[in-house]
Amino acid sequence: LSAGINHEICNPLGIARGAEVDVEVRGVNLGDLKSLKVKAAENAEPGSRVDVPVKLAAGSPLNSKNLVVGEFPEAIEQGTNDDGAGANAVPTPATVNGRIERPGDVDVFRFAAKKGQRLIVDVNARRLGSPLDSFVEILDGAGKPLPRATLRSLAKTYTVFRDHESTSPGIRIEDWRELAVNDYVMIGNQLLRILALPKNPDDDCQFFQLRGQRVGYFDTTPAAVSVSTPIYKVSLHAPGTQFPPNGMPLNTIPFANDDGGPQYVKDSRLFFDPPADGEYFVRISDVRGQEAAKRAGWRL
């Protein structure tokens, strides 16, 4: 008799070293088995795996599952936490386990932070086998998006010749006379930095890359670019900085991230520099809003 566990309904996806947790499992031919206990050794290395020991009268399941070991205190999503009023309070540092359970579901958590104490918000879902395509953002104490930087546009050009996919470090541009190496440019919602200017009209402008994929700065996510998309050379300033109008857009980048980069698959990663001591919210969702049926799990 074949049996299997659905990974997205193996909850939680991790465990603190030295801890014991009840793990919910669902799958086919598991009979009455709904949950079981898993324990991690006191000396377990952070990032190592602990097997979920499913034992059935008919034998072992065809697929095995495991939990990742964490080094911080662990919390599990509680109740309805779709907004600031129902947000779960969590310490920092900590690992939080949760699930996106219905269309448009979001999970919100409250935490305290101090100015000058950088925090990293790291979603671990796809790397653990969950189908979640996460989006994470930091909100202020009133539950509003928190601005990270103001970008002033200084010059304008366009993409030309062809559409460009989301990963290529090279983009063909119309005019680069007002651009220089190390300049920042805004293309759509992605903030990029110039590595090398075109050598001739048939050459691409090269942007900083990692593992062959272009890098978005301030945790912006590189995305596909269609031909004739405007490109703005920008200068970076503190949030809320005001300037006299120059006929070009003034953009604000919030503390938010879709994809954390080449090594993060579809998982989000966000660097947070608190602007002041106080309480903040972190909100996590699926960018597609499609994960209700799969009840996608994640660790934050």
Beta strand segments in 101-244, E: 106-113, 119-122, 134-139, 147-158, 170-171, 184-187, 190-196, 205-207, 209-210, 213-214, 230-237
DSSP-derived secondary structure for 60-101: --SS--EEEEESS-EEE--S--SSGGGPEE--SS-EEEEEE-
DSSP letter for 114, please: -
Confidence (pLDDT) at 102: 79
Check residues 127 and 148 and name the one with the higher pLDDT. Answer: 148
Residue-wise pLDDT tens digits, 218-244:
999 999 999 999 999 999 999 999 999
| Nearest CA-CA partner of 138 in 2, 8, 255, 30 | 255
| Nearest CA-CA partner of 264 in 159, 146, 71, 132 | 132
> Can you tell me the distance from the alpha carbon of 186 to that of 192, in angstroms, rounded to the nearest whole number?
6
Confidence (pLDDT) at 30: 75
> Can you tell me the distance from the alpha carbon of 173 to that of 208, in angstroms, rounded to the nearest whole number?
16
For residue 66, pLDDT over 90 is answered with no
Q: What is the mean pLDDT of residues 4-27?
A: 73
**pTM for this prediction:** 0.83
Place 181 in a pLDDT band, splitting at 50, 70 and 90. very high
What are the beta bridge partners of residue 186? 191, 232
> Can you tell me the distance from the alpha carbon of 252 to that of 160, in angstroms, rounded to the nearest whole number?
26
What would the two tokens of residue 63 be? 């697929």
Q: What is the mean pLDDT of residues 129-158?
A: 93
For residue 9, pLDDT over 70 is answered with no
Confidence (pLDDT) at 260: 87
What are the beta bridge partners of residue 250? 152
| Nearest CA-CA partner of 152 in 247, 67, 292 | 247
